[in-house]
Amino acid sequence: MYDKTQTESKKVNIMKALLVLEDGRTFPCQSFTGEGEVFGEVVFNTSMTGYQEILTDPSYCGQFVTMTYPLVGNYGVNPFDVESDKIHVSAFIIKENQRFPSNFKSTKTLELYLKESGILAVDDLDTRALTRHIRSAGAMRAVISTKDLDAASLVKKVKKSREIAGLDLVREVSTKKPYKWYNNRRNFCEKAIEDMGADIFDFRGKKKLVAAFDFGIKYNILRSLVKAGCEVVVVPASTDAETVKAMNPDGIFLSNGPGDPEPVFYAVETIRKLLGFKPIFGICLGNQLLGLALGGKTYKLKFGHRGANQPVKNLITGKVEITSQNHGFAIDLKSFDSKDIMITHMNLNDNTIEGFRHKKYPAFSVQYHPEASPGPHESEYHFYDFVKLMQQ
């Protein structure tokens, strides 16, 4: 249980801060996690819950996340609702921080959680105005500083910072060593993956064996694969096709991940070599990488899709799914001119591709997150479709 004294015993260290966008727009605010100066791409998320899952989603690497829901931190944090081993956002922007949470699972405050990870977080900021500005002008580079409060100085600094487009962020978040997902945790392999081959799996013939590429994988994807009856071995993003073939899995999974898919050329080439070898299932960045491997092209969305309320139409069943999403790039529909590719899902807000499958190869993918945690959960069927494809 959360103990109120853990916050009261720590000195409240609120200080003035300034958020400055690369187009010169400024937003006064205050830091509740201490001093600092950090750069990143500012985006917004429309989810009302799930801030801990958002913070630990590797897909947010290099980004400032703005929560549109005004009160954040009201149910605290706990060790169970994480999607990776650490916080990946560069900074956290909210309207109001709740310092005294109320939830039976809470073990500490959001404030303490962010401080322990060294993450700069600000509140008392007009998040509605910031979101409206991003929707109009697009996601862009930004800086948050408590050290330098001169807007002109910060604009110069932010224009020299790195851009998300053209940047390979996958290398920053992918695992360096392969691991097996047992008992709801990572179990790293003691030997090199090249030395283990097919012996890397323990339940051959008893479960469906999945080699999962880690481009920034979320833990709940692994939980969902295990729930569907799979044994999962997670491999680094740079793993080559020959190594995966030597593992001889029943299926190959392409995970979510951060940033621009085009610089991840090594993964695209690997996927291209694995087409037709075993069934392939991709989510989010995995969807884009599969699209690139099949000859498609990608582009940067104006402000992306980030939230738990994106409507997607399943073109096969005619049903509409409310989905959770987090991506700033998409596949160009016009670039898919092959008759072998079937578009299966479309976003009803902007008509972007949300899913496709190949008619010749056993491969399919979706742009949204069927493993969504905390939800919605109506798209979980994709994991069972993947199992059926492996069984065939």
Is there a single domain that holds both residue 123 and residue 42?
yes
Q: Number of structural domains, the chain?
A: 2
Query: Is residue 195 located within the same domain as residue 301?
Result: yes
Residues 186 and 110 in one domain: no
Q: Are residues 155 and 175 in the same domain?
A: no
pLDDT (0 to 100) of residue 165 = 93
Region for 244 from its dihedrals, namely left if φ exceeds 0, alpha if ψ lies in -120 to 50, beta otherwise? alpha
Provide the pLDDT confidence category of residue 338 given band limits of 50, 70 and 90: confident
* Reported confidence tier of residue 13, pLDDT bands at 50, 70, 90: confident
Helix 285-293 crosses helix 265-274 at what angle (to 10 degrees)?
70
- The mean predicted confidence, pLDDT, of the chain is 95
104/14 same-domain check: yes
Q: What is the pLDDT of residues 198-207, one digit of tens each?
A: 999 999 999 9
Q: How far is CA 227 from the centre of its chain?
A: 20
Confidence band, pLDDT 50/70/90 cuts, at residue 239: very high
Mean pLDDT of all residues in 178-187: 95
pLDDT tens across 118-162, in order? 999 999 999 999 999 999 999 999 999 999 999 999 999 999 999
Same domain as 127, residue 247: no
**Which residues are part of the catalytic machinery?**
284, 369, 371
Q: Is 165 contained in some domain?
A: no
pLDDT in tens, 271-291: 999 999 999 999 999 999 999
Mean pLDDT of the region 166-185: 96
**Domain coverage including residue 147:** 5-159
Q: Which CATH number fits the domain that encloses residue 199? A: 3.40.50.880
Q: Do residues 104 and 218 share a domain?
A: no
Strand partners, 41: 63, 141
Low-confidence winner among 96-100, 153-157, 194-198, 312-316 (lowest mean pLDDT): 194-198
For 53, 150, 235, 255, 257, the CA distances from 174, given in Å and listed in that order, are 18, 36, 9, 10, 9
Residue 36, pLDDT above cutoff 90:
yes
Considering the domain boundaries, does residue 164 fall inside one?
A: no
Tokens at 186, concatenated: 């990572």
Residues 150 and 270 reside in one and the same domain: no
Flag whether 304 is in a domain: yes
Residue 74 within any structural domain of the chain: yes
Model's pTM, two decimal places?
Answer: 0.95
Residue 359 has pLDDT above 70, yes or no: yes
